[in-house]
Amino acid sequence: NENGAKYYPCEKCCTGEKDAFLTYYITSDGTRYHKQRDCPKIKRTVLEVKLSEVSGRAPCKRCGN
């Protein structure tokens, strides 16, 4: 993220296998990436990115992805 922290899959919406070709959603200062843009765990403006751009980030605690 902007602060140098890693992104991890959200525990709610990122369950199962990862797909490098899917679009994922992140926030600039968050630490989770999401499969669902409308994940209830997202509380900020989201950015649309590929999985390769979020390596090392944790999944969102609300949606699991």
Cβ within 8 Å of residue 13, ≥6 positions away = 34, 35, 36, 39, 41, 59, 60, 63, 64, 65
**Looking at the whole model, is its pTM more than 0.75?**
no
Cβ within 8 Å of residue 17, ≥6 positions away = none
Strands (E), the chain: 8-9, 23-26, 32-33, 47-50, 58-59
State the pLDDT at residue 65: 62
State pLDDT tens for residues 9-59: 988 888 877 777 688 888 887 888 888 888 888 777 777 788 777 767 677
